[in-house]
Structure 1
Amino acid sequence: MPLVSIVVPVYNQAQYLPMTLDAVMFQEHPDIELVIVNDGSTDDTPAVIEDFLTRVRTETASFARRYDEAADTVEREVHPRYPQNRLIRVLHHERNSGLGATLNTGFRAATGEFCTYIASDDMLLPSMVSECLAAMERTTADFAYADMHVVDDRGRILRRFSLPEADFAACFGDWYFCGVCKLYRRSLHERLGWYREDLLSHDHELYQRFAMHGVPFVHVPKVLANVRIHGADRQVDNHTPGQWNRLFRESIALVREAREFLRTGKTPQP
């Protein structure tokens, strides 16, 4: 089985981080490398990470396994709560550097054949890695992406977000429709570069760059992640109006670039 690296960038998301980390640990795929990058958080994130590492090492769970008729007791089987075959790396930025830089720190440290990242307030569903790997094996694609549930701050499902089939015009020429729940070959970074640290729409730009250079994509038409939308009372980072507006302006520029590529077939020069 190939090793899959999952990067979790985190900045001041301590209240959501345990759920995100648990969802990575309990992926059905057996060979997982978890790379946590704390981007200079000023909340309880460092303590949450340390607590998580302790729980992985020490916590147990149990289940009722067998009724002993002679003793009239139910025997329980005790086992480690977490899978014990995960590689876990924890990296820290002394100061907040932004999401693009945090992702690059994580992916440069990753060692898996395939890789992805998940925001520290979102959650991968258990079969995400295995379903995306299977789709890539069936099609020889190098990048797989799947549908999502959009959830509110309490985790309640607001709607399903179904993405288009793999097509440059549909995924990039209309708007950006492929990059939240995804898995791709790590070698693409070595061939085509990293996340741009000057952009908020760093993922949009990178995956469009992949596509413009002929990387084959495949869509998995299943919900494989929960993506959180925060309410008006939690406007932080990219969720503030100013940052959100900047993100949209960057994405509009990228859509225009995609449309020019569709018209001319020419890849923009870096």
Structure 2
Amino acid sequence: MTDTATQPLVSVIIPCYNTEEYLPETLDSVLAQTHTKLQIIAVDDGSTDGTPAVLERYAAADPRLHIITQENSYCVRARINAIARAEGKYLVCLDSDDKIAPDYIRECVSIAEQNLHTDIVYSDAEFFGTRYGTWPLAEFSLPEFLMENSIYITALIRKSAYDKAGGFDPNLTFFEDWDLFISMIKNGSGVHKIGKTMFFYRKRENETSVNNLSSGETVSDNAFKIYQKHYGFYKANGLSYLRLLYTAADAHKKQKKENLKRRGRIQYLLNKWFGKR
């Protein structure tokens, strides 16, 4: 373990809304970090269950945990409010039902400290809860990343780079992390993924995590906002609007052919087993 006096301060941001059942596991994973110089800011986002009591109990036992209370809003506003009070050199945003391995922050900080241009550091990840297994995150590649986010919200980020990028966009109600990472990368931030599983993303009974409760329309609308916002960057990386339309059209045609083949195969089997002989 590194001497605490030489460790950079890391601010861990935890928005909480009605996660009384899961929050202790999340907080325990943070308090177990081998990088101990932490400022933990938990935001009670208008919870109506026992979440506030859980936070108070943990804060009484560990002075590194600070609690902010606010009326219910989307989690991005909770994060923004907490980060406004953050004093750390680095930020880690952790949803209140997920968890991190004991060495997660230490290893991420080590990478960032070795390279001043590496502002986004994360690791391999796994699902847990009602579904277990590897989260198949693609290796970072800019064109592919611009098409589909492959960096989760709990990546360690350099706060100065966060500030330079303008922070989270409060006008987004989904994909705010993707938008932030795009803004940081546009400004020259480097990305590094550690090839070790140290982040654990909870799947609940309804196949969601606390940060994945939006409708298809909301997802589509926010993705389009991001594309409009960063259109120049997308074009510079070969992803003009027309090219995306052609790509989508090709994908639709391929899917249609696959569906026809599948239906034909099913019909063949139905005729084989249940047709007239």
Fold match by TM threshold 0.5: yes
Greater alpha carbon shift after TM alignment, 249-258 vs 25-34:
249-258
Q: Provide, for residues 35-56 of structure 1, a one-character-per-residue CA deviation record: whole Å limited to 9, x for no partner.
A: 11111111111111122234x2
Verify the 8 A CA contact 1:2 1:31 in the aligned structure 2.
yes
1:157 aligns with 2:157: no
Displacement, 1:152? 2.6
1:78 corresponds in structure 2 to none
Distance 1:136 1:34 in 2: 20
| 1:178/1:255 CA distance change after superposition, 3 Å | farther
Greater alpha carbon shift after TM alignment, 15-24 vs 207-216:
207-216
Larger Rg: 2
| 1:234/1:149 CA distance change after superposition, 3 Å | closer
Displacement, 1:234? 7.4
Verify the 8 A CA contact 2:162 2:184 in the aligned structure 1.
no
Q: Which ranges of structure 2 fall in alignment gaps of 5 or more residues?
A: 1-6, 239-277
Distance 1:263 1:198 in 2: 23
Write the letter of the residue equivalent to 2:136: F
Greater alpha carbon shift after TM alignment, 156-165 vs 40-49:
156-165
Displacement, 1:160? 3.5
Equivalences for residues 208-247 of structure 1 within 5 A: 208-232=182-206, 238-239=212-213, 242=215, 244-247=216-219
Greater alpha carbon shift after TM alignment, 97-106 vs 185-194:
185-194
Write the letter of the residue equivalent to 1:149: E
| Bigger proportion of residues as strand | 1
Verify the 8 A CA contact 1:173 1:256 in the aligned structure 2.
no
1:97 corresponds in structure 2 to 73
Displacement, 1:139? 3.4
| Bigger proportion of residues as helix | 2
State TM-score, norm by structure 2. 0.74
Q: Which ranges of structure 1 fall in alignment gaps of 5 or more residues?
A: 58-85
1:263 corresponds in structure 2 to 235
| 1:112/1:235 CA distance change after superposition, 3 Å | closer
> Which of 24, 29, 32 is the aligned partner of 1:18?
24
Aligned length: 230
Equivalences for residues 1-270 of structure 1 within 5 A: 1-54=7-60, 56=61, 87-93=64-70, 95-140=71-116, 141-153=118-130, 157-165=132-140, 167-170=141-144, 172-199=145-172, 200-232=174-206, 238-239=212-213, 242=215, 244-251=216-223, 254=226, 261-264=233-236
State TM-score, norm by structure 1. 0.76
Q: Provide, for residues 175-223 of structure 1, a one-character-per-residue CA deviation record: whole Å limited to 9, x for no partner.
A: 0011333101111233221211221221111111111121122121221
Percentage of matched positions with identical amino acids: 24
Aligned-residue CA RMSD (Å): 2.5
| 1:218/1:96 CA distance change after superposition, 3 Å | same
| 1:237/1:205 CA distance change after superposition, 3 Å | closer
Choose between structure 1 and 2 for higher RCO, CA contacts under 8 A separated by at least 6 residues. Answer: 1
